[in-house]
A and B are shown apart, each in its own frame.
Chain A
Amino acid sequence: MKPKGVLNLPRLFRKALGATVVIWSLLPSAYGQESLVGEEAAEPDLTIGCLYPLTGPMGFFGRDADVAIGMALDQLQQLNHQYMNAGEAKLYPRLKVLLEDSKGKRHRSATLARQLVEEQGADILCGVVYSSIALEISAYAEQQKMLFIGAGHSSSRLTQAPVNPWYFRVNNDSRQSMRAGARYLKEMKSEQPWTTLAYVGPDYDYGHRALGDLLEGLEALDVHFEISGEYYPKLSEPDYSTYIQALLSSPPDIVICNFFGDDFANFVRQAHLQGLLEVSRLANFDTGGGYSIIAALGNDLPPGVILSGHHHNNWPDTPRNREFVAEFHRRSGRYPNFMAESAYAAILAVAEAWRQAENTDADGMRLALEGLKLSLPEDPPGFQSWIDPISHQIMQVTAIGESLPNEDYPPAKRMLGNWKVYMPEINPLTP
């Protein structure tokens, strides 16, 4: 008898949005002529188990990921049509995506990951918002020797030595964001001299690593400054008043705040009300520029806050990005958060690696993912995202902007502008 899981998976599946998507069942001719022969209902080539919070305070991340996964699958279907028409022999795989509601809980996520693999037959795991949970899932994937495509979390610990050979990440990590932020701060010094900096981040691995990444970046750029304070409120903290008060007791020139989601929105609101934003510049180089935060803040987000996100709806202004945002809006009736593009990239990366792999087993896929080049909506003209074969971290452009009044993407009252764009610090290895 199979051991019964801690969680009741059938019930969870009912709650999961987009629970099972098998694309090729809708397209019998898509897998090439040979494979179709004699197949009644095509078995998927790969089953991907995705973990995202679909409910709870971070549920909007998973719901955006769900829509984007559907878009990625449709995109692959469309590309296969084109390849078939062009006579291409190698097509994208039949994918089955299982999306589970992790609710952002650590143990639930770990248990779901096991059940997806051991009971649902998932070949690859993907997703996860919290870095500390991703670390645990990464350890499990390494134990199982199966791929885990990180899409949504940012702690640089996952892509730094010792690197898990089975882990790949398809969104910028805190190291890339913070090193871009360090370059931004260095440039800012000449325009608007600053000497003191304070850091506020969530009290878990991501929050701690992000400061290390920033300091490392500033040191590498030989930027001289003084840290006036370093604070770690816990995740989902509703009241930041004592922390803001501590910042106000000796206001720094710049406050780097690395919260994400509703936490960042709450911090901005309270900092604005307590007057912190009148005496210090506020910056969030990693995820603070996410659309959902900007929309939630509305007019409470003052102009001039320095923000970035892993993907922006109004940058780059390319047909691909405009099409991605418009299609997402058409499907869901809302504009996407950066999590959507990360989930979209995860599905495309798996499909592309499978298509390019000489051997489509886990090892072959892993080798194909190392150095994989991938065109994504967030790539500006002339740039293609690629996965660093050493760190397994995707290399993407970081665009940092300032909040400006803009009602082109309702209900948001602000969008980012005055962009400064930073290319990845390393280039892909030339074959």
Chain B
Amino acid sequence: MKEPTGNQIKISLWRNSLLRRYLVLSLLVTVLPLLVVTWFYDRFTGELLEDLGEQKVQHSMNATHAALSGFLKARQFELETIVDLPNIERFLSGDPLSPELEPTHALISFETDSFDIYGVLFFDTQWQLKTALPGVASSGPPYWGETEFSLEGLPRIKFADYWLIGPQPPRQGRSGWFLLAAPLPLSSVDTSSSGFVALHLRFASLAELLKGQSRIDGFTPLISTSEGQRFTVNGRPALDKTPSWLSEEFAPGWSIEVVKHHPAVNLSQELRRPVFLLGVGVSVVLVGGFFMALILRIKRRFVPLIEGAEAVSRGDWNIHIPPEGNDEITLLAKAFNRMGGRLQALIDSRLDVEKKAVLGEFSASIAHEVRNPLATIKVCVQSFPIDEDPRNAELITLVLEEIDRVNGVVENLLSFARPFDPERVWVTAGDLLRRLAALIDPLAVRENIQLSLSGDLDARLCIDENQIQQVLMNLALNSIQAMPEGGGLNLAVQSTKENTVIIVGDTGIGMAPESLERATEPFYTTKSQGTGLGLSISKRLVQLNGGHLQMSSEPGAGTRVLLTFNASRETHE
């Protein structure tokens, strides 16, 4: 089956991605309700407010009606009181400041002491003004200055026992007014009709009672009078000609009218809806963008994990996923790296075991098959008669040496395949190294090599002395061979609380990286006469003694071999 390419992996990853589904679901969960709410809000809020406004207007209509009727009733009551005052009809002709009328005048003043009443007017039967008593809010005619005051042209409506006259709309420098008039009682001396007394009322005081309704947005309350004139809440003539939406009469021919219109909105209010919708759109884009960025980020974090898993499936155990951040994915990446490392170590260890097993079996078999014939050959050669010919003696000696050498190789093979169990004792590193130095010093002198000991020579370690001595000798000889032109060989000891490290360092020709990597493999050698078992046996012996062997080398600069042993007494006890 054909393997998918990288792009195909990416596409299929996106197409089948759980993240993609998560993104779509998140967007749906977040944005869909927002859009639905926005649509409902946009569609119904205006209507809802209008409905609420209508309900509010209808409810407040009763209160406004009661307020306006109440205002007129209160004035009617005041008028009734005035009509009932003694000598009231005498104000038509008498001087209101005369002593005999003063008490009645005082009572009228008390009754009408309000800023809603301009004054009290007395008319004859022909509605000609005869007397004007100013109130605290009086102004201009008929009280001061010009005396002309006519009711001509003003609508006059009978209202129970009263007359509702006007209103006179405001003019420049004058307020609007209307009259509430009642007939004066008949005089005791003159039984003919007396005339009328009227309260001269501030029209705006009536109109201002619409205040409650004027605060409802989208609705304008007006007062409509008998001749169809309409007035605002401030008592000014209304310029709005819109037909009324609701109307209720509070006096004959006078009604409260409510005009419905689109609320007077200023520029900021007009812009509110598009700004709101734009805000929703921007929110959707921002939410979508945020989720998309989040998903891409998570996806980017997952890709190395997927690629790592792919590599493992191809047999590449040496994967390393760089851990970013400190979250769950980082923990997963670290766990993944640990898993890869351990799997690699496990496989290496298994291979090593199998390799050693095969090698041991092979070595034992070779040794068995070679060692006995070699012994026989050696005995046979030694039993050759001594000849006078020196050449024969030399050949026999040569054969015996070769037999010994082959036997040595076989011994090495057996040592590698079935090493002896170490007999570990506590020794000082100095004893080991001084003994080694004594053994190799003649050779070093001959090869022009400067031998030196350094470090903590009193450091102790628990080892099989013979085995480690063998290892150190092998390492020292390797170093000497690596310095054909002479150099320096240093045997050093470093000790910590936990470990004792013996370092064999030379200034020889060093090793290339690839040689260094394979140096401890059995049968690997760069020397023409070597068996390739020295370092692998050394490593094995160090491991058997609880330590490990590490090598570092630089071509042309020398090689350092570190033997690290556990120096803790508790570990060995």
Using a CB-CB cutoff of 8 Å, which residues 101-141 of chain A contact chain B? Answer: 104-107, 110-111, 130, 132-133, 135-136, 139-140
Contact pattern, A 191-215, Cβ under 8 Å of B = 1, otherwise 0: 0000000000001110111011001
Listed residue (B138, B144, B236) with the most chain A CB atoms within 10 angstroms of its CB:
B144
Q: Say yes or no: B144 contacts A157, CB within 8 Å.
A: yes
Q: Size band of the A side of the interface?
A: 35 or more
Q: Return the chain A residue nearest B233 by Cβ.
A: A242
Given contacts A140-B97, A143-B97, A239-B211, contact A204 B136 (CB under 8 A): yes
From B97, B116, B135, B234, A242 is in contact (CB under 8 Å) with B234
Partner pick for B137 among A107, A203, A242, CB 8 A cutoff: A203
Q: Mark A208-250, 1 if CB is under 8 A from B, else 0.
A: 1101100100000000000100111111100101110110010
Decide if A234 touches B232 in the complex (CB within 8 Å).
no
Inter-subunit contact B140/A231 (CB<8 Å): no
Q: Is the interface of B mostly helix, strand, loop or mixed?
A: loop
- Does B136 lie within 8 Å of A105, measured CB to CB? yes
Tell me the nearest residue of chain A to B174, going by C-beta: A208
Residue contact B113 to A105, C-beta cutoff 8 Å:
yes
Decide if A204 touches B139 in the complex (CB within 8 Å): yes
The reply to whether B110 and A232 contact each other, CB–CB distance below 8 Å, is no
Which of A157, A203, A212, A242 is B115 in contact with, Cβ under 8 Å?
A203
Q: Mark B181-214, 1 if CB is under 8 A from A, else 0.
A: 0000000000000000000001011001001001
Chain A residues positioned under 8 Å from B136 (CB to CB): 104-106, 130, 132-133, 204, 235
B113 and A107 contact, CB distance less than 8 A:
yes
Expressed in whole angstroms, the Cα–Cα distance for A234 and B236 within the complex equals 14
Collect the chain B residues with CB atoms within 8 Å of residue A132's CB: 134-139, 143
B109 interface residue, CB < 8 Å from A?
yes
Q: Does the CB pair A246–B137 fall under 8 Å?
A: no
- Closest B residue to A232 by beta carbon equals B175
Q: Is the CB of B208 within 8 A of A203?
A: no
Q: Which residues of the other chain, B, contact A235 by a CB distance below 8 angstroms?
A: 115, 136-137
- The residue that B143 contacts in the complex, of A135, A203, A212, with Cβ under 8 A, is A135
Most chain B CB atoms below 10 A, which of A139, A231, A232: A232
Residues on A with beta carbons closer than 8 Å to the beta carbon of B160: none
Residues of B within 8 A of A208 (CB): 139-140, 173-175
Interface status of A3 (Cβ within 8 A of chain B): yes
Q: How far is the CA of A243 from the CA of B211 in the complex (A)?
A: 10
Name B95-137 residues within 8 Å CB distance of A.
Answer: 97, 99, 102-103, 106, 109-110, 113, 115-116, 134-137
Is B99 within 8 A of A3, CB to CB? yes
Q: Which residue of B lies closest to A104 (CB)?
A: B136
Write the chain B residue with the least CB distance to A203. Answer: B175
A234-B116, A234-B204, A246-B236 are known contacts. Are A204 and B137 too (CB-CB below 8 A)? yes
Would you call B172 an interface residue if the criterion is a C-beta within 8 Å of the partner chain's C-beta atoms? yes
Distance in angstroms from A61 CB to nearest chain B CB is 15
Interface contact B172-A107, CB-CB below 8 Å: no
Whole-angstrom CA separation of A208 from B170 in the bound complex: 11
Q: Report the interface size for chain B: residues with CB under 8 A from the other chain.
A: 36
Chain B residues with CB below 8 A from A241, complex form: 211
Contacts of A135 in B (CB 8 A): 134, 138, 143-144
Asked whether B145 is an interface residue with its Cβ less than 8 Å from the other chain, the reply is yes
Given known A-B contacts A3-B99, A106-B109, A234-B115, A212 and B173 have beta carbons under 8 A apart:
yes
In chain A, what residue has the closest Cβ to B114? A234
- In the complex the two chains form, is B145's CB within 8 Å of A234's CB? no
| Cα distance A105–B109 in the bound complex, in angstroms | 10
Q: Is A26 part of the contact surface with B, judged by Cβ < 8 Å?
A: no
Bound CA span A207–B103, Å: 30
Give chain B nearest CB distance to A55 CB in angstroms: 16
- Interface status of A6 (Cβ within 8 A of chain B): yes
A215–B173 Cα distance when bound, in Å, is: 10
CB <8 Å contact, B134 and A106: yes
Q: Mark A234-269, 1 if CB is under 8 A from B, else 0.
A: 111001011101100100000000000000000000
Residues of A1-44 contacting chain B, CB below 8 A: 3, 6
CB distance from B429 to the nearest CB of A (A): 92
A186 to chain B, nearest CB (A): 20
Q: CB within 8 A of A203: which of B97, B204, B214, B233?
A: B204
Which of B102, B109, B236 has the most A CB atoms < 10 Å from its CB? B109
Residue of B nearest to A106 (CB): B136
Chain B positions within 8 Å of A111 at CB level: 106
Q: How far is the CB of B457 from chain A (nearest CB, A)?
A: 92
Q: Does B264 reach chain A (CB closer than 8 Å)?
A: yes
In the complex, chain A residues whose CB is within 8 Å of the CB of B138: 132, 135, 204-205
Partner of A211, one of B103, B113, B173, B204: B173
C-alpha spacing A215/B171, complex, angstroms: 14
Separation of A407 and B264 alpha carbons in the complex (Å): 42
Chain A 371-406 interface 0/1 with B at a Cβ cutoff of 8 Å (1 = within): 000000000000000000000000000000000000
How far apart are B64's CB and chain A's nearest CB, in angstroms? 14
CA distance A111 to B208 in the complex (A): 32
Bound Cα distance from A215 to B144, whole angstroms: 20
| B139-155 contact mask (Cβ, 8 Å, vs A): 1 or 0 | 11001110000000000
User: Contacting A106 at CB < 8 Å: which of B99, B135, B233?
Assistant: B135
- B115: chain A residues at CB < 8 Å are 203-204, 234-236
Name the A residues within 8 Å of B214 (CB-CB): 242, 245
Assess whether B140 is in contact with A107, with CB atoms less than 8 Å apart.
no
A243 to B207 CA separation, bound complex (whole angstroms): 12
Interface centre among A132, A140, A215 (most CB of B within 10 A): A132
Which residues on A sit within 8 Å (CB–CB) of B139? 132, 203-205, 207-209
Question: Once the chains bind, are A6 and B103 in contact (CB under 8 Å)?
Answer: yes
In the docked arrangement, what's the CA distance between A113 and B12, Å?
106
**Known contacts A143-B97, A212-B173, A249-B264, A231 near B137 by CB under 8 Å:** no
Q: Which residue of B lies closest to A131 (CB)?
A: B139
Residues of B near A207 (CB, < 8 A) are 139
The answer on a CB contact under 8 Å between B113 and A106 is yes
B209-236 CB mask vs A (1 if < 8 Å, else 0) is 0010010000000000000000011101
Distance in angstroms from A141 CB to nearest chain B CB is 12
Listed residue (B136, B140, B145, B174) with the most chain A CB atoms within 10 angstroms of its CB? B136
Contact between B109 and A110, CB atoms less than 8 A apart: yes
**Are B234 and A136 closer than 8 Å at their CB atoms?**
no
Measured CA separation A374–B367 after assembly (Å): 150
Nearest A residue to B143 by beta-carbon distance?
A: A135
Within 8 Å CB of B234, what residues of A? 231, 242-243, 246
Chain A to chain B contacts (Cβ below 8 Å), 30 pairs: A6-B106, A104-B136, A105-B113, A105-B136, A106-B113, A107-B106, A107-B109, A132-B139, A132-B143, A135-B143, A139-B97, A157-B145, A204-B115, A205-B138, A207-B139, A208-B140, A209-B173, A211-B173, A230-B173, A231-B236, A234-B202, A234-B205, A235-B115, A235-B137, A239-B211, A242-B208, A242-B214, A243-B234, A245-B214, A246-B234
A-B pairs, top 7 by smallest CB distance, nearest first, are A107-B109, A205-B139, A106-B136, A234-B115, A204-B137, A232-B175, A235-B115
Known: A132-B136, A132-B138; 9 extra A-B contacts, CB below 8 A, are A105-B136, A135-B144, A140-B97, A203-B115, A203-B139, A203-B175, A204-B137, A234-B116, A245-B214
B-side interface residues toward A, CB under 8 Å?
A: 97, 99, 102-103, 106, 109-110, 113, 115-116, 134-140, 143-145, 170, 172-175, 202, 204-205, 208, 211, 214, 232-234, 236, 264
